[in-house]
Amino acid sequence: MKQIPVTIITGFLGAGKTTLLNQIIKKHTAKKFVIFENEFGSENIDSELIYKTEGGNIYELSNGCICCSITNEFGLMINSLLLSNKQFNHLLIETTGIADPASIQEFFVSGERIRSKFYVDSTIALIDGENFFDLLTDRSEVRQQLVLADQVIVNKMDRIDDLKKEQLDQKLRLLNPTARIYYTQFAQLNGINLLDNHFNTAEKVEQLTYNHFKTVQLVNDEKASKHEAITTCTISFKGDFEEERFRFWMDYFLKFNSSNLYRMKGIICIKNEPQKMIFQSVKGYFTLEEGNYWNDTPRENKIVLIGKNINKEEIEKSLKQILVTETE
């Protein structure tokens, strides 16, 4: 069975998620979607607002946030879906407005069986442009949804002026410098393709990591760390790792830091390996994949971390301590 792409749509209450979901469904008429729709409360009415297509399948999760019941109702429904004879080629998940998408991302990378059936194509965060700054201050969920997104859609742009748009753009790129950002009104997708972008493949992670190091100055990370609850920091250094030693370090590091480290991705050098090793993590899980050959590219480790209370100096020091020495 070919792996099926998963698109996760997040966004705080009132951002326009259901409108966006309908736009995606109408735009991709050749797709055979299965849709998981989640609302916080005993009565789920949002499914009645979703555009119905011939053969479309909508699963409703009510009376709880999907990220809180990820191993229960959601897991059972995914298992039921896999055991059924339903024909589909894309899974869309619309979360409740207060969901932390990390738990959903984790579900699709934490088990061999699920990984063999699905891959997370991208996580989309829908932002209410008009009320963004107020929500960013009052609601931690908005920050979490934003920093975990691969694609950010700023909606309701018809309600803000150019100055506010510039301020909003600067803030978004500070909080999530690797995300692709779009500006819309009424969640319209004119000229925007949100599906099948493969944001979590080794090739894409490698590309985004290099782009990030080209465009973001390290001094910005230092300034942000004094003012932002959630920050991005970057680490780069030369040297080779031994793969099993790096895996052991990552297991240990994530075990004790998963609660404050939302995302981690990058490129590392493995001793005697001609290819780059691409890694990424979500919560307590990480993956390692072979990337492109180094060829004439200078061998250098490049790591991007997004989270809160990140001690960049200690992390870099710890990583350098497990580098392969000249005597090894």
Mind listing the pLDDT tens digit for each residue in 248-276? 999 999 888 877 888 888 999 999 999 99
Residue 229 pLDDT: 62
pLDDT at 40 over 50: no
Q: Does 172 share its domain with 224?
A: no
143 versus 13: the higher-pLDDT residue is: 143
Q: Does 13 share its domain with 136?
A: yes
CA torsion, ordered 295, 296, 301, 306, to nearest 10 deg: -90
Residue 97 pLDDT: 64
Query: H-helix or E-strand containing 285?
Result: strand 285-293
Confidence (pTM): 0.78
Q: Which of 152, 183, 214 is the last residue of a domain?
A: 183
Cα–Cα distances (Å) from 273 to 205, 235, 249, in that order, read 19, 21, 19
Long-range contacts, stretch 134-142, CB < 8 angstroms, 24+ apart: 135/12, 136/171, 139/12, 140/229, 141/12, 141/97, 141/98, 141/99, 141/100, 142/12
Q: Does 115 share its domain with 219?
A: no
225 versus 291: the higher-pLDDT residue is: 291
**C-alpha to C-alpha distance for 210 and 166, rounded to whole angstroms:** 25
Instruction: Classify residue 47: in a domain, yes or no.
Output: yes
3-state secondary structure of 265: strand
Query: H-helix or E-strand containing 203?
Result: helix 202-215
Q: What is the CATH number of the domain that holds 287?
A: 3.30.1220.10
Q: Does 175 share its domain with 303?
A: no
Q: Does 11 share its domain with 154?
A: yes
Question: What domain range is 171 assigned to?
Answer: 4-183
Can you tell me which residue has the tokens 């960013």?
136
* Structural domain total, the chain: 2
Instruction: Classify residue 195: in a domain, yes or no.
Output: no
Q: Does 257 share its domain with 132?
A: no
pLDDT at 228 over 80: no
- Give Dmax over CA atoms of the chain in angstroms: 66
Instruction: Classify residue 191: in a domain, yes or no.
Output: no
**C-alpha to C-alpha distance for 283 and 295, rounded to whole angstroms:** 33
**C-alpha to C-alpha distance for 238 and 184, rounded to whole angstroms:** 41
Instruction: Classify residue 170: in a domain, yes or no.
Output: yes
Residue 58 pLDDT: 65
Q: Does 177 share its domain with 67?
A: yes
| Region of 33 on the Ramachandran plot (φ > 0 left; ψ -120 to 50 alpha; else beta) | beta
Can you tell me which residue has the tokens 């925007």?
192
Q: Does 212 share its domain with 239?
A: yes
242 versus 226: the higher-pLDDT residue is: 242
Residue 269 pLDDT: 96
Reported as a single tens digit per residue, the pLDDT across 80-129 is 888 887 888 999 998 876 667 888 888 888 778 888 899 999 999 998 88
pLDDT at 217 over 70: no
Phi, psi of 8 (to 5 degrees): -105, 125
Query: H-helix or E-strand containing 289?
Result: strand 285-293
Structure tokens at 67: 């990220």
Q: What is the CATH number of the domain that holds 109?
A: 3.40.50.300
Which whole number is the average pLDDT over 155-182? Answer: 89
Q: Of the candidates 227, 324, 305, which has an alpha carbon nearest to the alpha carbon of residue 261? A: 305
Q: Does 169 share its domain with 36?
A: yes
Q: Of the candidates 23, 29, 95, 104, which has an alpha carbon nearest to the alpha carbon of residue 65? A: 95
**C-alpha to C-alpha distance for 325 and 328, rounded to whole angstroms:** 5
Which whole number is the average pLDDT over 222-240? Answer: 70
Q: Does 31 share its domain with 89?
A: yes
Q: Does 103 share its domain with 53?
A: yes
**C-alpha to C-alpha distance for 139 and 209, rounded to whole angstroms:** 28
Q: Does 245 share its domain with 156?
A: no
CA torsion, ordered 190, 195, 196, 198, to nearest 10 deg: 110
Q: Of the candidates 261, 286, 271, which has an alpha carbon nearest to the alpha carbon of residue 328? A: 271
Instruction: Classify residue 260: in a domain, yes or no.
Output: yes
What's the whole-number average pLDDT of the chain?
81
pLDDT at 68 over 60: no
Helix axes 312-321 and 243-257, enclosed angle (nearest 10): 150
